[in-house]
Chains A and B, each alone.
Chain A
Amino acid sequence: MTLLDIRDLEVTYRSARGDVPAVRGVNLRLRPGETLGIAGESGCGKSTLALALLRLLPASASVRGEIRLDGEEVLGMSWGRLRAVRWAGTSIVFQGAMHALNPVHRIGRQIAEPILLHEKVSEAGARQRAEELLSQVGLPGWRARSYPHELSGGQRQRVMIAMALACSPRLIVADEATTALDVMIQAQVLDLIAGLVAERDIGLLMISHDLSVLSSTCARLAVMYAGRVVEEGPAHQVFADPRHPYSRALASAFPTIGDPATRGQPRGLGGDPPDPTALPSGCAFHPRCPVVLPECSSTQVDLVPAGPERVAACVRVDTAARSTP
């Protein structure tokens, strides 16, 4: 059974400057217990995608396509059903979510809030659950009585993860959930998330600009550029042997320590991400592409097979790789 099924998703923001296409036809699938990473830079549409999953987009956004959670269509859901699905079916942890905590309420009460709203439990029962959740994310139960300012950034981010788990969702969406944290705290939080996913058989959709973090946490990886998925496949393969020139540039921006080829050779990509209101013709990446061909400015490239369980949207993906079983 597919947990999350996104088909031909398109999101366009209507603005005074005209229509801004943020997501331009994305297809993704996730089964329970699976982990999928979505990589890309600012403005590639990855956060818009996360918001679209629970219809959290502003009214200026028009959404087309299909999003199914556990087989249920999200875009046509009634508001009542949608409220039930938020938290209980799917929960999202955002970047800087630790700033989302209410400074004047104790954290135990804040964790108990969604439990009280979604389930028939007593206040004492909810409080009890809140303490259990805190211990699951590695914080002592007495921390439930603390106020947010008494916790460090890493601890607050753990509280947000505890809240995301409060109603036992089937899917967790983590949007740059560890970006603001120190390396060691990030490692603790990632370890925690990986453990919970394995233990509870939930799905994880993790969104980040950091390809190296995604490749070490997720089984599969999708790379987005200008609102489209340009490559998808097993995470380690996409990171170690990318097929799309953009994935290659992104991967080489994270040097492998100990690899002499990357020592003293910082690599990046010339140019800047495209303006979504004026996307280049053909392949949107062609103005920055180091291996551009003449046809790239006119040919719109779709995802094609690029090896076992891999797809990439580039005219250079050779036919040999396509036919490999």
Chain B
Amino acid sequence: MSKRSPSPVLSARGLEVDFRVRGGRRARAVDGVNLDLAPGEILALAGESGCGKTTLARTLLGLVRPSAGQVEYAGRPLAYSTGALKSYRRAVQLVLQDPTGALNPRHTVYEAVAEGLRIHGISDNERDRVAEALARCGLRPPERFFLAYPHELSGGQRQRVVIAGALVLEPKVIIADEPVASLDASVRGEILALLLRLREEFGLAALVVTHDLGLAWSIADRLAVMYLGRIVESGPTEQVLTNPRHPYTQALVSVLPDSPVDRSIILSGEPPDVTRIPAGCRFHPRCHELASGAAEQAGVAEACRRTPLPVLGTDPTDGAPAVACHLHAARLTPTADSPK
């Protein structure tokens, strides 16, 4: 996997996004997120529905304005003027979940891929650019697909067309929201392999939003796990998945088949609603470590219930995972001064 470069291409700094819901209450979908995406890096953002991962992705794309904090591209804060956003969206492209919904059924493959070029007023070599983008996405020979309509293609081919539409503008980053969730299992691997190849060949960085930890294991350099608007654990994918430290990550990993976590931890209930984020650690009402008394033994149960956790920074320089958990912090402290 690629080494992390010191200057990120895309970052989130203390990002918060609020929505007003019925009854005047505020829902904080993203509640303080720091995130760095290095050039050529694949970062997976995982979590259950409603954890704020899609809102975070939309905010990074400039589709939603943050209530606090900022998005930085190439070290500069994102400006929200129409012109600035237009050039930003040439560099940072979105790939949607459902290729059938993302493609206009009455546009040919050529029109679908060329649309971005036309929006951005790029008129030189249109045909060559479209052909190259299709070929890069494995649709070869590209000319054969020019006049095809979406309904004539398979699901995997449609997703390749959607990715080609993003690539034709030669972006630096793609943000993919569940890029393979609607595809058949045997086709998924091919699309994921395509993302890896684009990284190898063109240094494309990708933020992949997914609920599928297997996908993260297959392609991501780093993994960030989100719960109720916050990143609760992030770090190199191998470390986060083979030795999950946050109880929520442990539970998510434990329910996978052949999981590295021996005992399966099935959380009861569902994530609380974002208008009522629990006090203290936001995970404490469902936490098995608190319920089993492990937190009590370590003397942190009170903190779990009352003391809010600090927002995780971007990954610490030593490459160890960052974890937002009182119990984890308590377990680290006694061993910190013993020799390693």
Residues of chain A at the chain B interface (Cβ within 8 Å)? 41-42, 138, 152-155, 182-188, 191, 209-213, 215-216, 239, 249-250, 252-259, 262-270, 272-273
* Docked complex Cα distance between A185 and B154 (Å): 30
Q: Which candidate, B118-126, B259-267, B312-320, B324-332, is the interface stretch facing chain A?
A: B259-267
Q: Is the interface of B mostly helix, strand, loop or mixed?
A: helix
Number of interface residues of B (CB under 8 A): 43
Segment touching A, from B84-92, B95-103, B190-198:
B190-198
Q: Which residues of A contact B256 (CB under 8 A)?
A: 183, 212, 257
CA distance A253 to B193 in the complex (A): 12
Complex interface: chain A residues within 8 A of B214 (CB): 212, 254-255, 257
Q: Which residues of chain B are near A257, meaning CB under 8 Å?
A: 213-214, 217, 241-242, 253, 256, 258-260
Which segment, of B10-18, B25-33, B180-188, B277-285, faces chain A?
B180-188
Say which residue of B157, B193, B251, B257 sits within 8 Å of A266 (CB atoms): B193
CB-contacts of B199-239 with A (<8 A): 211, 213-215, 217-219, 237-238
Q: Which of A153, A253, A270 contacts B185 (CB 8 A)?
A: A253
CB–CB A254/B257 < 8 A: yes
CB-based contact A250/B211 at 8 Å: no
Q: In the complex the two chains form, what is the Cα distance from A239 to B257 in whole Å?
A: 11
* 24 CB < 8 A contacts A-B: A42-B155, A42-B184, A182-B48, A184-B48, A184-B252, A188-B267, A191-B266, A211-B185, A216-B257, A250-B185, A253-B188, A255-B218, A257-B217, A257-B241, A257-B242, A258-B241, A264-B196, A266-B190, A266-B218, A266-B219, A268-B187, A268-B193, A269-B190, A272-B154
B268 interface hit (Cβ, 8 Å): yes
Contact of A266 with B192 in the complex, beta carbons under 8 Å:
yes
Find chain B residues with CB under 8 A from A258 CB. Answer: 241-242, 258-260
B189 located at the interface, meaning its Cβ lies under 8 Å from any Cβ of chain A in the complex: yes
Measured CA separation A55–B190 after assembly (Å): 37
* Given contact pairs A266-B189, A267-B189, A269-B189, A183 touches B241 in the complex (Cβ within 8 A): no
A154 to B269, CA, bound (A): 10
Within the complex, the shortest CB–CB distance from B175 to chain A, in Å, comes to: 19
Which B residues touch A268, using CB under 8 A? 186-193
A255 to B210 CA separation, bound complex (whole angstroms): 15
